[in-house]
Structure 1
Amino acid sequence: MATNDHQATYADIAPLRADLALALRAADHHGLGEGICNHFSVALPDGSDRFLINPRGLHWSEIRADDVVLVDGDGNVLAGRHAVEATAMFIHAAVHRVTGHAVVLHTHMPYATALTLTADRTLDTTLSQGAMRFHGRIAVDAQYNGLALDMREGERIARGMQGREVAFLANHGVVVCGARLDHAYEDLYMLERACLHQVLAQSTGRPLAPVDEKLAAFVAEQIQGERLQSELFFEALRRLLP
């Protein structure tokens, strides 16, 4: 049951709700969504277990700030006018709690998901420059257990991430996390681009040409050391998708 205190908090965090709604609309714009499935969530910056998440039943293209729902770690809706889908709570609440990441983006975006269906399960971070930004940042969950319909499955996924920011979930999709929404969203977008490039390269049937691990790690460090590009990208999306 929503209380006046939670409603006041909901009003105070209108800019954060607006940014989460923007990220969802951008993901639809970039072809990363899947109907009304999948979820983005952002923890409140107050140290509580409360976080914002997109509601059940709305297409990402139509979500606005007032559609975003405030929930607690037990799945109780604290503020907002919509319900929240069960699997969203089990995955997102666990990842926020176990990893400590403020932002959790879960999608079944096409090319990244395609790689979870292969024997390798994941992106090769020694191939394209775009893939190198993720070198050392990816965890692979090689065990598919069906829909995440209980907290144990969510916690298994979260613990398997080992604190890393990206997880490839076998036969399922991906999770991209971070401390900031703009940084995490650009990572999500760039991850799908890197997966697209790898799938296209593999489709030629010609031998691939990876770089050595040391160079891939150096490129990852270069990109992580300067994230202004991520912030400018999100500001451009704010102009393009008001």
Structure 2
Amino acid sequence: MRNATDLGKEIFLESSVVQLRGDLALALRAAAYHGFGEGVCNHFSIALPHRPNLFLLNPRGLMWEEIQADDIVIVDGDGNKIAGHHEIEPTAMFIHAAIHRITKKSCVLHSHMPYASALTLTVNCGLDTTLSQNAMRFHNRIVMDRKYNGFALDHSEGERIANAMAGADIVFLGNHGVVVCNNRIDYAYDDLYFLERACSAEVLARSTRLDLATVSEDICEKVAMQVDSERLQSELFFKALGRKLS
């Protein structure tokens, strides 16, 4: 009878998992390239298809820019490492395991990227999706979690964050950072990138102290639907990043 270690090694080498490991590593390197990283902190994960209790995660102690497919680890919903050469960081396991389990989202990207994190420090704790075109793509997809409890070092805090999402794709964590979810890595990374672009535009616009021009709810909803119907752009962007960062 196979033990968990042998099974983990087999899963690690399955062709679909090898592809996902490569895609997750690319997303991490892309995030570093775009300035979204913070030391060796923050984490990206993707659930394994047909194995909902297992997910891929970047390891502890590596900078995003250096991560390759072989550095990715497999973790189960209880935080046990199933396969991989590196250790895992506790807060990553608690946040990501809970979000995967409770929200059923396949891809979970957690970042302290600068402009989005800056907006988590404000009273409103988030992005105004009635301002820039980039922001409108997220209309009705964001929730704000204003309750900051320190580091997520237990299951209860990870579960609290997951429940606070209430089914939304994106959560602004008050005084902390953001989590962006989707069911595909390329879509999730595209959202992460344009979320930071939208946040940077809002921060810059507000810094002028000029009156800001908002757009109607109807237009915001229209733009969000237009972006969702043109996801080929997300796929092409991720492939372009693969060519640049290979």
TM-score with structure 1 setting the length: 0.99
Determine whether 1:123 maps to 2:127.
yes
Residues 1-40 of structure 1 show CA distances to partners (whole Å, capped at 9, x for unaligned) of: 8522211110111111011000000000000010100000
Cα distance in 2 for partners of 1:2, 1:49 equals: 14
Out of 101, 104, 108, which is 1:97 matched to? 101
- 1:3 maps to 5
Determine whether 1:203 maps to 2:207.
yes
Q: Which moved more, 1:99-108 or 1:46-55?
A: 46-55
Determine whether 1:238 maps to 2:217.
no
- 1:152 maps to 156
Q: CA deviation at 1:48?
A: 2.7
Where do 1:1-242 residues align within 5 Å?
Answer: 2-12=4-14, 13-242=17-246
Cα distance in 2 for partners of 1:191, 1:166 equals: 9
Residues 149-173 of structure 1 show CA distances to partners (whole Å, capped at 9, x for unaligned) of: 1100000000010111000000000
Cα distance in 2 for partners of 1:112, 1:131 equals: 11
Q: CA deviation at 1:214?
A: 1.2
- Checking the alignment, whether the CA contact within 8 Å between 1:2 and 1:77 is kept in structure 2 is no
Between Structure 1 and Structure 2, how many residues are aligned? Answer: 242
Question: Over aligned residue pairs, what C-alpha RMSD do you find?
Answer: 0.8
SS at match of 2:74: strand
SS at match of 1:50: strand
Cα distance in 2 for partners of 1:7, 1:101 equals: 25
Unaligned runs of 5+ in 2: none
- Checking the alignment, whether the CA contact within 8 Å between 1:43 and 1:51 is kept in structure 2 is yes
Residues 60-111 of structure 1 show CA distances to partners (whole Å, capped at 9, x for unaligned) of: 0100000000010001010001000000000000000000000000000000
TM-score with structure 2 setting the length: 0.97
Letter in 2 for 1:107: S
Cα distance in 1 for partners of 2:141, 2:224 equals: 9
- Checking the alignment, whether the CA contact within 8 Å between 1:125 and 1:216 is kept in structure 2 is yes
Cα distance in 2 for partners of 1:23, 1:167 equals: 19
Unaligned runs of 5+ in 1: none
Flag as ranges the 4+ runs of structure 1 deviating above 4 A.
none
